[in-house]
């Protein structure tokens, strides 16, 4: 029996390793997962491609998407808009793919409100010192933006306990494996198997 896909949200401090984890998870299980591509008003980093990492759009185009109700959620993060286009997520879940949204906390909580079955995962490095090291080591942001993002991490930490699971990204492969197991275990939840339960009840009555 085909089952609807799981909706999983992955959040975490900037520099925690979310993007790296997503790439590793998808490269190992490309047929099982669909990663939602967000729209954003921030500038592309070196090597980022429109339509691959993000849809890089203007503030006007973003506001138009809000108006047309084309986003599941949107939020402002350190001076830029970010949002999740609705149609792709719905189509992929219907097609049975487990859909991952890699989004920040305000968006994550909005998604959980709209879709209470959403699995909320929070990725963190093993320590604050390691976070700073990774964020600087990535070498993609100015010193000012790094400071803003570290400040934002202090605020974000206040919401960590709103998530279903905390994933410590120490060894990358171990973390990818744990994430995969957590998402896959959702398929066994009762709420994801209501059709099966119904069929089983019918079959049993006909014995």
Q: What residues line the site for ligand ADP (CB under 6 A)? A: 12, 14-20, 134, 137-138, 169, 172
Least Å distance, CB 180 to ligand 5GP, is 19
Select from ligand ADP, ligand 5GP, none the partner in contact with residue 17, using the beta carbon and a kind-dependent cut-off of 5 to 8 Å: ligand ADP
Q: Using CA atoms, how far apart are residues 165 and 154, in angstroms rounded to an integer? A: 19
Q: Tell me the two tokens of residue 194.
A: 């209501």
Q: Does 75 bind ligand 5GP (CB under 6 A)?
A: yes
Select from ligand ADP, ligand 5GP, none the partner in contact with residue 169, using the beta carbon and a kind-dependent cut-off of 5 to 8 Å: ligand ADP
188 DSSP assignment? G
Least Å distance, CB 173 to ligand 5GP, is 22
Given a contact cutoff of 8 angstroms between Cβ atoms, the answer to whether 155 and 149 are in contact is no
Select from ligand ADP, ligand 5GP, none the partner in contact with residue 138, using the beta carbon and a kind-dependent cut-off of 5 to 8 Å: ligand ADP
Select from ligand 5GP, ligand ADP, none the partner in contact with residue 163, using the beta carbon and a kind-dependent cut-off of 5 to 8 Å: none
Provide the phi-psi class of 79: left if phi over 0, else alpha when psi is between -120 and 50, else beta.
left
50 DSSP assignment? B
**Of 5, 8, 14, 17, which one interacts with ligand 5GP (CB under 6 A)?**
14
Q: Using CA atoms, how far apart are residues 21 and 110, in angstroms rounded to an integer? A: 23
Containing H/E element for 84?
strand 80-85
Q: Tell me the two tokens of residue 143.
A: 């010193």
Distance of CA 133 to the CA centre of its chain: 23
Least Å distance, CB 31 to ligand ADP, is 23
141 DSSP assignment? S
Select from ligand ADP, ligand 5GP, none the partner in contact with residue 112, using the beta carbon and a kind-dependent cut-off of 5 to 8 Å: none
Select from ligand 5GP, ligand ADP, none the partner in contact with residue 5, using the beta carbon and a kind-dependent cut-off of 5 to 8 Å: none
Least Å distance, CB 112 to ligand ADP, is 20
Would you give the end-to-end CA distance of the chain in angstroms? 20
Q: Is 82 helix (H, G, I), strand (E, B) or coil?
A: strand
Binding-residue pattern over the window 30 to 69 for ligand 5GP, x denoting contact by CB under 6 A: --------x---x---------------------------
Given a contact cutoff of 8 angstroms between Cβ atoms, the answer to whether 156 and 105 are in contact is yes
Q: Which residues bind ligand 5GP (CB under 6 A)?
A: 14, 38, 42, 73, 75, 77, 82-84, 102-104, 106-107
């Amino acid at each position: 029996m085909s089952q609807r896909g799981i909706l999983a949200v992955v959040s975490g401090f900037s520099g925690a390793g979310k993007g790296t984890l997503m790439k590793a998870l998808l490269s190992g299980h490309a047929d099982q997962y669909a990663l939602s591509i967000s729209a954003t008003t921030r500038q592309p980093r070196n090597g980022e491609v429109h339509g691959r990492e993000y849809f890089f759009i203007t503030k006007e185009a973003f506001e138009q998407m809000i108006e047309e109700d084309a986003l599941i959620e949107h939020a402002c993060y350190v001076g830029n808009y970010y949002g999740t286009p609705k149609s792709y997520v719905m189509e992929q879940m219907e097609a049975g793919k487990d859909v991952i949204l890699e989004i920040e906390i305000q968006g994550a909580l909005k998604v959980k409100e709209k879709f209470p079955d959403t699995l909320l995962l929070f990725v963190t490095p093993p320590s604050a010192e390691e976070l700073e090291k990774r964020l600087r080591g990535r070498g993609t942001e100015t010193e000012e933006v790094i400071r803003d993002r570290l400040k934002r991490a202090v605020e974000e930490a206040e919401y960590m306990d709103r998530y279903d699971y905390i994933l410590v990204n120490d060894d990358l492969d171990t973390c990818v494996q744990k994430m995969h197991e957590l998402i896959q275990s959702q398929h066994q939840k009762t709420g994801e198997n209501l059709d099966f339960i119904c069929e089983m009840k019918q079959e049993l009555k006909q014995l």
